[in-house]
Structure 1
Amino acid sequence: MSSTEIQRSEERALELLGGEPDDATLRRFLHGLPGVDAVGLEQRAASLGTRSIKTTSKAWALDKIISLIDLTTLEGADTPGKVRSLVAKALTPDAGDPTCPRVAAVCVYGDMVPSAIEALGAAHGDPDDGLVSVAAVATAFPSGRASLDIKLADTAEAVADGADEIDMVIDRGAFLAGRYHLVFEQIARVKQACRRADGTYASLKVILETGELNTYDNVKRASWLAILAGGDFIKTSTGKVSPAATLPVTLLMLEVVRDWHRLTGERIGVKPAGGIRTSKDAIKYLVTVAETVGEEWLQPHLFRFGASSLLNDVLRQRQKLATGHYAGADYVTID
């Protein structure tokens, strides 16, 4: 994203808010949003989750899931060697099948960014072009509890080291206390810290940690707040808190993204993360995306899965399909 695009996004946000993003203005806007019908939302999500998928579409769906995965290692014991192994898996998910696509990105702690970039070599780049991005978690991940100066330095260092994407966490305590301007300002400042030397920006994913927001109304408000402040993606979870991603919460976030696009023409990405472990579950998310915002969102710069174990199940299902296990069935149930 360029400086001009950033400026236009900021102007759209101010126009929608009808004033500067102080606590009073943000509260008026966020609490003026229609309330979420929890029963209706969960029924829609359940309905989308029961869709069948044709055998002829299954291979496409499995490959699509792989191409949208952020393969992740976020442990205190991470080493350059572990990151190199992660990158090897990202580049060649199935060593026995050269037709298997690469994942979209590897997601690591900021100090592991140089190791990831070195391991990727010429394959480092835009996942929309079949290459693999490097995403770095930042801003005192996973708690988000640090001073703004530390959060900005954390972000700027990862970007300077070559991170293509920054996954930041909001201060949930501040949000739940109604300190909306503080959360808005931190997201906006982190976005500025994503600026590269050439004037372009690393993509910013804003992690809401929906499992700590308690209500669907709060998830909706936090989604709007993150987009208004300049987030390129809204992301459900760190993967460190339960519940993490759920289909109703992701559906709600997709509806916010849909409404933002209708108002502004701008497309914002969505990333469910944590707890999506099977192909069966992942396909439910693909269907939900296609039915809510459209199939054009099913590309890496607009939708991702944050996962560490999902890939293994997708590869298992892919191998079963290749052996003809599902031959003769028009529709399949993924186990």
Structure 2
Amino acid sequence: MLSLPNRPASAVTCFETALHANRQCFILFACLYCLTGIERFIRDFPPAHYTFKIESFNVLSNTEEFERYETGDFEAGGYKWRLSLYPNGNKKRNGHRYISLYLAISEPDTLPLGWEVNVDFKLFVYDQIRDKYLTIQDLDGGVKRFHRLRTEWGFARLISLESFNDASNGYLVDDSCIFGAEVFVIKCTGKWECLTMLKQPVGNTCTLKIQNFSAQLDTSYHYSNVFIVGERKWYLLVYPKGYSSATGEALSLYLELVDWGSLPSKRKLYAEYKFRIKDQVHMNHYERTGKNWFSASSDWGYSNFITLSDLNQASKGFIKNDALIVEGEITVMSMIKVSS
């Protein structure tokens, strides 16, 4: 059984050593470094926003006036930031025998009253031998809230001086070192989207009666009245003697979205639908179903919905008094609402 050390400091030192001595020890040491509340991992690419190089680090750390060093400002996410480095650790926050590094928002007094900035940030120490970056963030994901009463966040125990000064780790080479920061401001844009799937929506059926069916020409077509389902306008389109390749062979029947221009930009609307030809004698209606995504100038349905030979059979009751009744029913439909 693995025994845990009494001090989190031991966990940090062991973890840093394991990263370089034997990377397969990562799982073994995971339970140890969790004690510190800090996540450490190695990555290949540099910090996105700021790097800070120190030459003659030992001269700096041995100069009493440099208990803390603040960098110049850098911009990220629409705000100005700076790094605050304690080369011998921030002893007021239990950083003895460590390097402490903090991210601070610059000129907080110039920000609007009641300001608040939510930030996902990472801090870095560059391994100059392996061209890798030791990456440090909070175990909870690194999101911190900066405000008037808390203008600085970071790590009192960024890295132990023992590990940092070990030449084999590559952090301090020729008495030079490089730190870095990556700062992503989380801004609420107020944008939102709501998807609703309507099943058997109100007013979902449209009926079209075609009179004088026997007199219809091959080029004849009929639109139904517009019917509104879920705030969208639809109509049926019928070619009694067929359309395109079905001309003279079958009745063609389509469902079309009329107000596609009111859809959110580049979006589509999903619908499941049912078409039927009414049997006006036996009530044995002929039905077919479909489902499609509707967009600009698109209609969906069947070019060969029912053959004209079947349609004209008197025994089936589809045509009565030279009239044909067509119905369209939308059974499922998507509704999308977005913020303006």
TM-score normalised by structure 2 residue count: 0.18
More helix by share: 1
More strand by share: 2
Larger Rg computed on CA atoms: 2
TM-score normalised by structure 1 residue count: 0.19
Higher relative contact order (CA 8 A, sep 6+): 1
